[in-house]
């Protein structure tokens, strides 16, 4: 554990951290000396105390829980459906030929226009939010998976026919392990997209979650709390992504090593 | 001649892929009640579309949205390229700024909209600024990465030819970076379109997104679906246009050339 931390410390980009601290200090200075004055611009310490207030008063937790729950549900649906359809589209030329154009039509439709439509159809509730997040996150998962399957080298296909693997066995033993890296990339993209779309749909009319809280603080003229929520959204995206990468690292060390190799 | 025919046959064959969409729409048409409050059949979308067109807000709304989209995207390309070149020219600078920019990038443009409205008020400049904020990251990061990977030999050559700063940028740096910039524009453009519609939603711009929210909130579902279909068509055309531009640019300035 000790070596882990010292390794991590060596990997930290101290210069970059210094720049962030410097920017915050400058911001604090400029606002508190009124060199720069906007009604709605709190200084970092104001945002920090708003953040502390949100945490201590318990205002934050129900909102955070709602957003997280919706985003994760949406993500699970997207990964399952997108992974499956992506595998089918990658494996079978017939499936790809009969679906690709439809997939492209839906993909080029800007996702946010679906938000008012979903609220209209399912009403402003959790169901609309989860389905919206899942819909948006589906496409990156589907497309990267299909591309991953198509990228399997022909020699590996030959191996599977030489070994006389059945269709199921060849998918299980060759296709899925080889496509794992691409699926992981797709799943990471999907997670970011699901979170953003859930937050945006909360901003646009669903009565719960961090996005809703953010808009409410805007209309209640509480800029410091609003900034705090913006920070929370940003941090949440980074934290979820890091959690997913760590989880995959622990659960499937082979896959993540493969991804790292293909990235470098 | 033969080539033309096979291209047409190819296009026809790729239309097979639209069959699932057509099946869904047909099923919808024949299995949903007429005047359904939430899911009106596609034929009613068309009637609603004609009606909106009659009121005269449709094309002005589309114009407002497309104008904001193009202005924002162009500003993001210009700014992203300029800042990316500056940022990528020094390894130190890259290292110093990357954590800050990574964090900013992780903050979704949507969450920034209320902040921007409170800070700068709902003006035209704020609208463009938000679209730029949402779509600049891929361009900035890709340009910086390409700039830092630029072979020093090319810069040395420009130096020995005593090119001025401007002609060095125009004749050496920019052509070398163009493939990377083009790829990043391909990523940034759909984001810019999404953020533009979001700005329509959250600030009363009068654009297509604004109209859509108006119809949604007054439960005019057929009109909402009509606008959804219109935005879909715009999205597809945008995609085709970008593919065409990308192909032209990469043909003229190939990667690694």
pLDDT at A258 (0 to 100): 59
Tell me the pLDDT tens digit for each residue of B221-236. Answer: 888 999 999 999 999 9
- Residue in chain A closest to B198 (alpha carbons) equals A112
Residue numbers in A near B213 (CB within 8 A): 116, 204
Higher pLDDT, A32 or A60: A60
* Domain range enclosing B134: 40-252
Overall pTM surpassing 0.80 (yes/no):
yes
Answer whether residue A260 shows pLDDT above 80.
no
Based on the fold, state whether residues B20 and B53 are members of the same structural domain. no
Least CA distance to B224: which residue of chain A? A117
Substitution target from A13, A110, A209 for chain B, most B beta carbons within 10 A: A110
A209 touches chain B (CB under 8 A): no
Please give the mean pLDDT across all residues of chain B. 86
Distance (Å, whole) CA B171 – CA B176: 9
Which of B101, B164, B105, B174 minimizes the C-alpha distance to B143? B174
Residues B64 and B156 in one domain: yes
Same structural domain, B141 and B239? yes
User: How many structural domains compose chain B?
Assistant: 2
**Of the partner residues A113, A199, A231, the one whose CB lies closest to the CB of residue B108:** A199
CB B59 within 8 A of CB B207: no
Of B160, B16, B157, B173, nearest to B82 by C-alpha is B173
Distance (Å, rounded) from C-alpha A100 to C-alpha A143? 10
The model's pLDDT over B77-126, given as tens digits with 9 standing for 90+, comes to 999 999 999 998 888 888 888 888 888 887 888 888 888 888 888 888 99
In whole angstroms, what is the distance from residue B50 CA to residue B187 CA? Answer: 34
Percentage of chain A with pLDDT > 70? 92
Nearest CA in chain B to A40: B119
pLDDT band with cut points at 50, 70 and 90 for residue A13:
confident
Q: Which two tokens stand for residue B74?
A: 């162009």
| pLDDT value of position B118 | 81
Give which of A227, A38, A42 is closest to B121, Cα–Cα.
A38
Percent helix, strand, coil in chain B, to 5, is 85, 0, 15
Confidence check: pLDDT of B246 > 90:
no
Residues B7 and B107 in one domain: no
Residue B255 is predicted with a pLDDT of: 65
| Range scoring the smallest mean pLDDT among A51-60, A91-100, A182-191, B104-113 | B104-113
B118 with B10, same domain? no
Contacts of A39 in chain B (CB under 8 A): 118
Residue B95 in any domain: the answer is yes
Angle at A171 (CA atoms; ends A166, A177), nearest 5 degrees: 135
Q: Do A105 and B103 touch (CB under 8 A)?
A: no
Nearest to B210 by CA among B223, B220, B197: B197
The C-alpha of A108 sits at a distance from chain B's nearest C-alpha, in angstroms, of: 5
Q: Is A3 exposed, middle or buried (0-12, 13-18, 19+ CB in 10 A)?
A: exposed
Residue B238 inside a domain? The answer is: yes
DSSP code of residue B1: -
Answer whether residue B225 is part of any domain.
yes
Residue B68 lies in a domain: yes
The alpha carbon of B114 is separated from its chain's Cα centroid by a whole number of angstroms, namely: 21
B110–A196 C-beta distance less than 8 A: yes
What's the mean per-residue pLDDT of chain A? 86
Q: Which two tokens stand for residue A1?
A: 């554990």
Give the DSSP letter of residue B205. -
pLDDT digits (tens, 9 = 90+) for A118-177: 998 888 889 999 999 999 999 999 999 999 998 888 888 888 888 888 888 888 888 888
Mark whether B184 and B226 lie in a shared domain.
yes
**Chain A residue closest in CA terms to B103:** A234
Which B residues in the span 87-106 are in contact with A, Cβ-Cβ below 8 Å? 92, 95-100, 103-104, 106
The pLDDT assigned to B197 comes to 92
Q: Cβ–Cβ of B216/A119 closer than 8 Å?
A: yes
Q: Pick the residue from chain A with its C-alpha nearest to B104.
A: A234
Specify if B6 maps to a domain.
Answer: yes
Asked if the model's pLDDT at residue A182 lies above 50, the reply is yes
| Chain A residues whose beta carbon lies within 8 Å of the beta carbon of residue B92 | 15
Domain positions in chain A: 43-263
Assess whether B20 and B80 both reside in one domain: no
Chain A partners of B221 at a C-beta cutoff of 8 Å?
Answer: 120-121
3-state secondary structure chain A: CHHHHHHHHHHCCHHHHHHHHHHHHHHHHHHHCCCCCCCCCCCHHHHHHHHHHHHHCCCHHHHHHHHHHHHHHHHHHHHHHHHHHHHHHHHCHHHHHHHHHHHHHHHHCCHHHHHHHHHHHHCCCHHHHHHHHHHHHHHHHHHHHHHHHHCCCHHHHHHHHHCCCCHHHHHHHHHHHHHHHHHHHHHHHHHHHHHHHHHHHHHCCCCCHHHHHHHHHHHCCCHHHHHHHHHHHHHHHHHHHHHHHHHHHHHCHHHHHHHHHHHC
Residue of B nearest to A194 (CA): B108
Q: What pLDDT sits at residue A87?
A: 92
pLDDT at A264: 33
Q: Give the ipTM.
A: 0.83
- Rounded Cα gap, residues A39 and B46, in angstroms: 47
Q: How close does chain B come to A38, measured CA to CA in Å?
A: 7
Residue A176 in contact with partner chain B when CB distance is under 8 A: no
Is B4 a residue whose pLDDT tops 70? no
CATH number at B143 reads 1.10.3720.10
Please report the pLDDT score of residue A262 as a whole number: 47
The pLDDT tens digits of the residues spanning A184-227 come to: 889 988 999 999 999 999 998 888 899 999 989 888 888 899 98
A236-255, pLDDT tens digit by residue? 988 998 898 888 888 777 66
pLDDT digit string, tens, across residues A34-49? 777 777 788 889 899 9
Verify that B101 and B7 share a domain, yes or no.
Answer: no
* Residue B257 maps to a domain: no
Task: Indicate the pLDDT class of residue A73, thresholds 50, 70 and 90.
Answer: very high
Residues B78 and B177 both lie in one domain: yes
Interchain CB distance below 8 Å, B115 and A226: yes
How far is B201 from B130, CA to CA, in rounded Å? 13
**Cα distances (Å, whole numbers) of residue A54 to A59, A60, A61, A206, B103:** 5, 5, 9, 20, 21
pLDDT digits (tens, 9 = 90+) for B27-80: 888 887 766 777 888 888 888 898 888 888 889 999 999 999 999 999 999 999
| B231/A109 Cβ within 8 A | yes
Contacts with B119 from chain A: Cβ below 8 Å: 38, 40-41
Residues B84 and B111 in one domain: yes
Residue B156 C-alpha from the chain's centroid = 36
- Topology, domain A43-263: MetI-like fold (1.10.3720)
B242 touches chain A (CB under 8 A): no
CA B98 to chain A, closest CA, distance in angstroms equals 7
Other CB atoms within 10 A of residue A103 CB: 21
CB-based contact, B211 to chain A, within 8 Å: no
Are A120 and B38 an interchain contact pair (Cβ–Cβ within 8 Å)?
Answer: yes
Q: Which residues of A touch B133 (CB under 8 A)?
A: none
Find residues 161-180 of chain B whose CB sits inside 8 Å of chain A.
none
Within 8 A of A142 by CB-CB distance, chain B residues are none
Same domain, B5 and B103: no
Contacts of B38 in chain A (CB under 8 A): 120-122
Mark whether B45 and B22 lie in a shared domain: no
């Amino acid at each position: 554990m000790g070596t882990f931390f010292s390794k991590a410390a060596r990997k930290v980009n101290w210069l970059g951290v210094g720049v962030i601290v410097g920017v915050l200090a400058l911001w604090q200075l400029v606002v508190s000396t009124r060199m720069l004055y906007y009604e709605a611009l709190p200084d970092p310490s104001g945002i920090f105390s708003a953040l502390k207030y949100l945490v201590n008063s318990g205002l934050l937790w129900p909102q955070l829980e709602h957003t997280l729950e919706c985003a994760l549900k949406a993500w699970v649906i997207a990964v399952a459906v997108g992974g499956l359809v992506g595998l089918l589209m990658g494996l079978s030329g017939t499936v790809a030929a009969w679906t690709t154009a439809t997939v492209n039509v839906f993909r080029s439709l800007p996702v946010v226009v679906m938000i008012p439509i979903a609220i209209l159809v399912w009403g402003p509730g959790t169901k609309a939010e989860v389905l919206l997040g899942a819909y948006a996150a589906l496409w990156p998962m589907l497309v990267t998976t299909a591309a991953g399957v198509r990228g399997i080298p022909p020699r590996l296909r030959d191996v599977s026919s030489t070994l006389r693997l059945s269709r199921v066995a060849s998918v299980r033993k060759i296709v899925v392990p080889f496509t794992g890296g691409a699926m992981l990339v797709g799943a990471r993209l999907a997670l970011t997209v699901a979170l953003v779309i859930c937050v945006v749909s909360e901003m646009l009319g669903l009565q719960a979650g961090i996005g809703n809280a953010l808009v409410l603080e805007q209309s209640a003229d509480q800029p410091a709390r609003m900034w705090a929520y913006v920070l929370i959204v940003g941090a949440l995206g980074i934290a979820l992504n890091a959690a997913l990468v760590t989880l995959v690292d622990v659960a499937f060390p082979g896959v993540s090593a493969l991804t790292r190799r293909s990235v470098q | 001649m033969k080539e033309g025919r096979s291209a047409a046959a190819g296009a026809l064959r790729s239309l097979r892929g639209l069959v699932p969409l057509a099946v869904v729409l047909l099923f919808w048409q024949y299995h949903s009640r007429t005047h359904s409050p939430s899911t009106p059949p596609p034929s009613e979308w068309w009637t609603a579309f004609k009606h909106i067109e009659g009121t005269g807000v449709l094309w002005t709304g589309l114009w407002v949205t497309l104008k904001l989209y193009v202005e924002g995207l162009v500003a993001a390309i210009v700014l992203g390229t300029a800042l990316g070149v500056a940022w990528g020219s020094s390894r130190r600078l890259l290292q110093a700024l990357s954590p800050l920019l990574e964090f900013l990038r992780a903050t979704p443009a949507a969450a920034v909209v209320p902040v921007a409205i409170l800070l700068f008020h709902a003006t035209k400049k704020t609208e463009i600024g938000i679209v730029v904020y949402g779509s600049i990251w891929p361009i900035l990061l890709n340009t910086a990465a390409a700039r830092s990977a630029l072979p020093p030999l090319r810069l040395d050559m420009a130096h020995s030819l005593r090119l001025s700063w401007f002609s060095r940028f125009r004749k050496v740096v920019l052509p070398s970076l163009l493939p990377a910039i083009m790829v990043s524009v391909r990523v940034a453009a759909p984001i810019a379109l999404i953020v533009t519609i979001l700005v329509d939603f959250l600030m009363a711009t009068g654009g297509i997104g604004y109209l859509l929210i108006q119809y949604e909130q007054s439960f005019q579902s057929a009109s909402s679906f009509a606008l959804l279909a219109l935005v879909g068509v715009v999205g597809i055309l945008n995609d085709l246009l970008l593919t065409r531009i990308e192909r032209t640019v990469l043909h003229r300035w190939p990667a690694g050339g």
